[in-house]
Amino acid sequence: MKAFYAVLLSAPFLINAQEIEASDILFLKIQELEGELATLRSELESQAYLIEKLLNEESNASDITDITDFNDSETPSLENVFRFEGINDSQSIEQVYERAVKELNEKDFASAQQSFQYLTENFNDEEKIPLSLFWLGEISLMESQLEEGLNFFQQLASDHPNHWRTPLAHKKIGDILMMSGDQNAAKIKYQFVVQSFPENTASSLALQLLENME
């Protein structure tokens, strides 16, 4: 009988302890979620900063000027950009590309994606098409579309192996593999970048990542 009363007396304390434990678990989960959100926010901000940095680098490399002064009122619609049907018109290519870069510069990623996609589907240009594929890959990363981004970077690397953005595209493939949890494949890709493009900035970035993986 005494044991029975002891159990009855201890029951509220047991219930209270369980409630406290559940509360602690909930609090820890909330903290964990807040941490994940902060990390995701930081990654998106870093990716946006990287896009801005790469845009500046591209501007210096290919002499793209006056992007911020591009007049929307003088820009034809994508559907009407062809001056001659069936002709790969360099002026039309330049118009669409400048429009896409302007949208990217303004962080209008949805419009930029549409413009770059239009370029890759309707034109053939040794400089602008590889760059469009690269930016499509970057935009996909911004939107956490890893598989889509991987496809764009792989297309750039396979179809345009000698383009000046190809080394960085290979490094980006490694990044996506790492983010997807395939560390071994990412390591192999980084080693490929270091060995194949030793003079390129992408090699330095890949080497640093390899050192961090040790």
**Each residue's pLDDT tens digit in the chain (214 positions)?**
555 445 444 445 544 545 555 555 555 555 555 554 455 555 555 555 567 667 766 665 554 434 333 334 444 455 544 443 445 677 789 999 999 999 999 999 999 999 999 999 999 999 999 999 999 999 999 999 999 999 999 999 999 999 999 999 999 999 999 999 999 999 999 999 999 999 999 999 999 999 998 7
- With the C-alpha atoms ordered 190, 193, 196, 197, is the resulting torsion angle positive or negative? negative
The whole-angstrom separation of Cα 171 and Cα 181 is 16
Q: Helix, strand, or coil here: 167?
A: helix
pTM summary value: 0.66
The whole-angstrom separation of Cα 147 and Cα 141 is 9
Centroid of chain to Cα 56: 17
Domains of the chain (ranges, CATH numbers): 146-214 (1.25.40.10)
Would you say 166 and 130 are in contact if contact means Cβ atoms under 8 Å apart?
A: yes
The whole-angstrom separation of Cα 146 and Cα 53 is 21
